[in-house]
Amino acid sequence: MKTIATFLASSAVAALAMAAPAQAAMIGGDCGDSTIDAVTTGTYLGCSGAYEGNDSNDQENVMNALSTLGSNLGLASGTWGYDSDDKSDADGNGVFTSNPGGSSGTLSFDSPMYGIFAVALKASTYYSIFVFDGGTTGISSFDFTTDGVAINNDDGAGLSHATFYSYNAVPEPLTLLGTAAALGMGVVMRRRNEEA
C-alpha cells in the first residue's frame, strides 16, 4: 500500500512538472537591491533576474516571472500589463522622459506612477525586473545601475532600454461581496427614507 501511495505521489509531482508553463531561466545570482540605488518617493519592493534575452521579445516568460515575483512579495492577486509603447527606447520614450544609455543613471517618468508597477531593465543580452509601490504619492524617478542586470563579462553594460509594466489588482471575492452588500444596504436605506 505504501509503495502505491509513493508511486501515485511521484507521478502527480512529475505530471505537474510537465504541465508547468515554461519559465525564463534565471542566469546566476540575484539582481540585488544595489541595482536600484534611490527611489525618490514610494517604495522599491523587490526584483527578479537576471534573465537571458530581451524582455520585449520574451513576454510569456516576463509575465510568468512577474506573477511569481508578485506572489513572493505577497501582492494581492492581479494581472500585469505590457504595452510596447511604454519603453524608454520607443518614440517619445514611452512613459519615461528619456532613455539613459549608461551603466548608471536616473530613470524619470513623464508623470508620477502610483500603486504597484514594475520596470524591466535590459542591458547587453540580459534583463532584470524590478517591482515598485508608488502608493498614493507616486514615484517620479529612480536611480539605477546595470550591475546585476547584465552579468559575467557584460556586468556594467549600458542600459539598452527600460520597460514599464502596469499592475491591476483583482478584488477578492469577499471584497466584491462586501461592496455588493454595502450597495444593497444603501438602496434599502434610501427606499426606507423615501417611504417615510
Digit-coded pLDDT (tens) for 79-118: 999 999 999 999 999 999 999 988 888 999 999 999 999 9
Q: Which amino acid is at 60?
A: E
Q: Which grid cell sits at 169?
A: 489588482
Given a cut of 50, whether residue 6 has pLDDT beyond it is no
Given a cut of 50, whether residue 20 has pLDDT beyond it is no
Report pLDDT digits (tens) over 174-190: 544 555 455 555 555 55
Mean pLDDT of 8-36: 45
Given a cut of 60, whether residue 15 has pLDDT beyond it is no
Report pLDDT digits (tens) over 45-73: 888 888 889 999 999 999 999 999 999 88
Nearest to 27 by CA among 132, 123, 142: 123
The per-residue pLDDT for 89 is 95
Question: Quick check: 143 and 37 in contact, CB under 8 A?
Answer: yes
pTM score of the predicted model: 0.72
Q: Which amino acid is at 101?
A: G
Handedness of CA 107, 109, 73, 44 (dihedral sign): positive
Greater model confidence, 27 or 158: 158
The per-residue pLDDT for 87 is 96
The per-residue pLDDT for 107 is 93
The per-residue pLDDT for 186 is 57
